[in-house]
Amino acid sequence: MAASEMPSSRGRAGRPVGTITRGTTNTNRLRRMDRWIAYTAGRALRAPAAAPVAVDLGYGAAPWTAVELAGRLRAVRPDVRVVGIEIDPARVAAALPMADPPLLDFRRGGFEVPLPGGERPLLIRAANVLRQYDEDRVAEVWALLCGRLAPGGLLVEGTCDEVGRRHVWVALGPEGPRTVTFAARLGGLDRPSDLAERLPKALIHHNVPGRPVHAFLRDFDRAWAAAAPLGAFGARQRWTAACGALAGDWPLRDGPPRWRQGELTVGWAALAPR
């Protein structure tokens, strides 16, 4: 799904909603996002109910990310079903040999998230999809995808680099956006604001003086600089100290166990464009 005209909530003549992305993908690219999803959605996945459905929306030219998501979620809920959805029929055909119905399947579709019988997914992951759209179209897509979620469901939408070392994503529920998570391979990070280039489309153009996301990254850099002496014990110790320093001024939604994973999650309202 790529960058020209915004889809309406209904495709013309039953066509999928959206347009084709570049499709760039690599194995293990979304491991940091998947790890966070498994942790955050773990309780909902384990709830005593019918096998939940998770969607990998816009998985790209190869199905690796859907296959990997299935494996990681099964560590939490063995009978979870994962559906990879792509708008390009050639990509769907190429992925089908990797299918393992009903636990892993592939379907053609777009932002309408077509599942059999109108089933609602507990999770939709849309990684590196909306980055290719115009910013003024994000809210409509978010609303469309959130409207497809099951009660208590989770939409994770964000961007990462080509090898999965730097990520930023927004988590949304049926009611709308909840949090923003920054995640990185700490060994190669010069400063937290290096993650700015991976901000999701809803935020990336607002990283300018006077906007909340710019102020947050500025404060994160200052906390990182102040924690420089701890770098002697490793980047993990420095990152954890910098995160702790932010906790007094920003509404952080996690703590040291997640910080040590190279993550930091902050409430959406604190960073939302305004």
What pLDDT, in 10s, does the model give residues 97-124?
999 999 999 999 999 999 988 899 999 9
Confidence of residue 132 (pLDDT cuts 50, 70, 90): confident
Q: If we measure between CA atoms, which residue out of 108, 124, 2, 12 comes closest to residue 57?
A: 124
What is the pLDDT, as a whole number, of residue 22? 72
Alpha carbon separation from 136 to 163, 205, 226, 271 (Å, rounded): 28, 11, 37, 17
pLDDT at 216 over 90: yes
pLDDT at 166 over 90: yes
Q: What is the 3-state secondary structure (H, E, C) of the chain?
A: CCCCCCCCCCCHHHCCCCCCCCCCCCCCCCHHHHHHHHHHCHHHHHCCCCCCEEEEECCCCCCHHHHHHHHHHHCCCCCCEEEEEECCHHHHHHHHHHCECCCEEEEECCCCCCCHHHCCCCEEEEECCHHHCCHHHHHHHHHHHHCCCCCCCEEEEEEECCCCCEEEEEEEECCEEEEEEEEECHHHCCCHHHHHHHCCHHHHCCCCCCCHHHHHHHHHHHHHHHCHHHHHHCHHHHHHHHHHHHCCCCCECCCHHHHCCCEEEEEHHHHCCC
Tell me which amino acid residue 139 is: A
% of the chain with per-residue pLDDT over 70? 95
pLDDT at 14 over 60: yes
Q: If we measure between CA atoms, which residue out of 65, 54, 55 comes closest to residue 26?
A: 65
Yes or no: say if 23 and 61 are a contact pair by the CB < 8 Å rule. Answer: yes
What is the pLDDT, as a whole number, of residue 1? 38
What pLDDT, in 10s, does the model give residues 24-65?
788 899 999 999 999 999 999 999 888 899 999 999 999 999
How do strand 53-57 and strand 81-86 relate by DSSP bridges? parallel
What is the pLDDT, as a whole number, of residue 26? 81
What is the pLDDT, as a whole number, of residue 15? 85
Yes or no: say if 225 and 215 are a contact pair by the CB < 8 Å rule. Answer: no
What is the pLDDT, as a whole number, of residue 19? 78
Fold designation for 12-174 = Rossmann fold (3.40.50)
d(CA 86, CA 234): 41
Confidence of residue 151 (pLDDT cuts 50, 70, 90): very high
pLDDT at 6 over 70: no
